[in-house]
Amino acid sequence: ARVFVPGDSSALSVGADAVARAIAREAAARGVEVEIVRTGSRGLFWLEPLVEVESARGRVGYGPVAPADAAALFDAGFLNGGDHRKRLGLVAEIPYLARQQRLVFARCGLVDPLSIEDYRAHGGLKGLARALALRPESIVDEIVASGLRGRGGAGFPTGIKWGAVASVRSDQKYIVCNADEGDSGTFADRMLMEGDPFLVIEGMAIASLAVGADKGYVYIRSEYPHAYDVFSRALDCARAAGVIGASLMGASHAFDIEARLGAGAYVCGEETSMLESLEGKRGEVRVKPPLPAVSGLFGKPTVINNMLSFASAPWILEHGSQAYAEYGVGRSLGSQPFQLAGNVRFGGLVELAFGPTLRQLVEDFGGGTRSGRPIRAVQVGGPLGAYFPAALLDTALDYEAMTRAGGLLGHGGVVVFDDTVDMARQARFAFAFCAKESCGKCTPCRIGSTRGAETIDRIIAGQDRETNVALVRDLCEVMTDGSLCALGGLVALPVLSALDHFGEDFVKARRLGA
């Protein structure tokens, strides 16, 4: 029998290795043949470690499983889907999963991340095979027509970026994948690297064909040592299988990929400081122009995309741009892997076509707060995203609706807070975060972030509220207009949304409960 136990960081953090060992021990003691396959995670984190077994109707899940459950699971005949108090039924029918539209994460949690055979058996490499049969311009056209936009935050059309690099003549071009997933509450890149790394490799290979690049880099944040390890091993497997390397799947195009580990700077998620870091320099933002499409890594034309953007390309090539564009709304086409975290009952990965409301995400999927208290604020798009009050939970999650509501979608991170949150402290945190992570290149961010935190301290202390709130608003305007990159340029979103929607938290008398 085959038993699937996740080896993803989320599952490992709650004892998945010990569970795998306990199942192996119990099987050996009973003389039962069991093959334990380590997979990625399905992204249903409250059920981890989620153990699955094959049945004629599909995989049956048990979770969350503890090592001490092993004997009882065998007694219950779990290898044949037997009943047990932790039996969840068919995993594909768990509503949290069944209600999703998993295009990018279709295989995550299902396959052995280091088995190319498994990847192929579950539909992998079909997008690349089609790309190999197309002319480079046609690949670019396909991505443009799909409407795919950058999943890293800015939402720039991916196909336009690819087309720009394709049109530049150069002896050397690069593909750079941004996996410096630093936003609070985000984990989609990590899940892919640990659960379906060949998808990312396939997506980057498609990009290399489109623009004529022969070398790729994946920049992985330093806090992801396990993802780095799995992804590096996946690169070795892909190379050994002839998917990448001197010949891309037997074609006359060479393309190899190197994984690089960052050094712990949030700003290296900004594309130009990431390039500096990749070149071995301090992660400091570059002035644009020149755009990386013209002069990027080592001064060569470079495609830089978020990992989720690359991971969307294989589906688009396999199924066609029109099929992809049928998902989503307006100019936000395709699917977005939302990541639900913070004070929420059912945290995890929820991939949906663009357009659900925040309420659907945090209430229908998330089940409200974990504390059981009312939702007071939801931050969307990382530490520089806006805070939404409960009254705005019907805001749609697409690029345009988010912008209209004064926020941004970012990398799709959604963090929930209950009514015990102190929004003045959250606003202070935004400035303090910016001060800590600022690369120091421009004055509004380098100095403004520290002054901002100090000014909010004065508001919290009850000193001349009106003057200091006006100062904060003024500072936000300066930082928005005068910062060189999005780190300083977006800090106004969390600060002003906190002030505008939760102004009562900035009144001292109220803070003291008077």
- Chain residues binding ligand SF4 by CB under 6 A are 267, 285, 438-442, 445-446, 483-485, 487-488
Residue 75 token pair = 């007694």
Cβ 450 to ligand SF4, closest distance in Å? 12
The residue among 408 and 439 lying less far from ligand SF4, judged by its C-beta, is 439
Cβ 282 to ligand SF4, closest distance in Å? 11
Instruction: Give 291's DSSP letter.
Output: P
Cβ 285 to ligand SF4, closest distance in Å? 4
Q: 232 burial class (0-12, 13-18, 19+ CB within 10 angstroms)?
A: middle
Tally helices (H) and strands (E) across the chain.
22, 16
Q: What is d(CA 17, CA 227) in angstroms, rounded to the nearest whole number?
A: 16
The residue among 219 and 228 lying less far from ligand SF4, judged by its C-beta, is 219
Cβ 442 to ligand SF4, closest distance in Å? 3
Beta bridge partners of 418: 375
**13 near 6, Cβ under 8 Å?**
no
Q: What is d(CA 58, CA 386) in angstroms, rounded to the nearest whole number?
A: 41
Give the residue from 212, 217, 216 showing the smallest Cα distance to 171.
Answer: 212
Work out whether strand 2-6 and strand 332-333 pair parallel, antiparallel, or are unpaired.
unpaired
The residue among 65 and 434 lying less far from ligand SF4, judged by its C-beta, is 434
The residue among 249 and 285 lying less far from ligand SF4, judged by its C-beta, is 285
Instruction: Give 93's DSSP letter.
Output: G
Cβ 286 to ligand SF4, closest distance in Å? 9
The residue among 140 and 285 lying less far from ligand SF4, judged by its C-beta, is 285
**349 near 339, Cβ under 8 Å?**
yes
Contacts of 473 (CB under 8 A, 6+ apart): 496, 499
Cβ 439 to ligand SF4, closest distance in Å? 3
Q: What is d(CA 186, CA 181) in angstroms, rounded to the nearest whole number?
A: 7
Cβ 491 to ligand SF4, closest distance in Å? 9
Cβ 472 to ligand SF4, closest distance in Å? 17
The residue among 12 and 442 lying less far from ligand SF4, judged by its C-beta, is 442
- CA distance readout (Å), 461 to 90, 264, 419, 427, 511: 55, 33, 21, 14, 10
Give the residue from 74, 50, 71 showing the smallest Cα distance to 62.
Answer: 50
The residue among 79 and 484 lying less far from ligand SF4, judged by its C-beta, is 484
Cβ 435 to ligand SF4, closest distance in Å? 10
**312 near 148, Cβ under 8 Å?**
yes
The residue among 369 and 483 lying less far from ligand SF4, judged by its C-beta, is 483
Cβ 269 to ligand SF4, closest distance in Å? 10
Cβ 182 to ligand SF4, closest distance in Å? 12
* Maximum distance among all Cα pairs of the chain, rounded to whole angstroms: 76
The residue among 220 and 442 lying less far from ligand SF4, judged by its C-beta, is 442
Burial of 297-336, coded b for 16+ CB within 10 Å and e otherwise, reads beebbbbbbbbbbbbbbbbbbbbebeebeebbbeebbbbb
The residue among 156 and 374 lying less far from ligand SF4, judged by its C-beta, is 156
The residue among 424 and 445 lying less far from ligand SF4, judged by its C-beta, is 445
Residue 131 token pair = 């790309």
What is the helix (H) or strand (E) element at residue 335, kind and residue range? strand 335-342
The residue among 272 and 332 lying less far from ligand SF4, judged by its C-beta, is 272
Report angle CA 176, 318, 54 to the nearest 5 degrees: 100
Cβ 254 to ligand SF4, closest distance in Å? 35
SS3 114: coil
